Copies of this chain bind each other. A is one copy, B any other.
């Protein structure tokens, strides 16, 4: 992550413009608007480098491909069952230290909420 290239700028810009974690393929599509020749391998390599240097954090939801967003501390995520987008939830409901059996030690946790986002709430019935 030493040289500054138009590919890397496009990838950073795509992630910056989005207000939510993006899939590698979403990053590719968005960044290709600036650099049409961009390849998926470069996206993966750049994402990996940014994660390694802790500029990005990986958002791994159950059964989903990894998403990426700029690092901003401990928080959780909301998955919209209608549109499939993932939103940040800037709140945390506790450490859950007390719900495990004796002898188990909780060090951290991940919470994913599922439902309907504000955008999809109007037209969705369920």
A residues near B (Cβ < 8 Å) are 58, 60-63, 66, 76, 78, 81, 87, 89, 91-94, 96, 99-118, 121
* CB atoms of A116 and B105 under 8 A apart: yes
* CB atoms of B89 and A103 under 8 A apart: no
Beyond A96-B111, A111-B96, is A78–B104 a contact (Cβ under 8 Å)?
yes
Copy tally for this chain in the complex stands at 2
Task: Name the CB-closest residue of B to A108.
Answer: B114
Cross-chain pairs A/B with CB under 8 angstroms, 9 sampled: A78-B106, A91-B99, A91-B100, A103-B117, A103-B121, A104-B115, A104-B116, A108-B114, A110-B111
Which of chain B's residues have a CB closer than 8 A to the CB of A102? 118
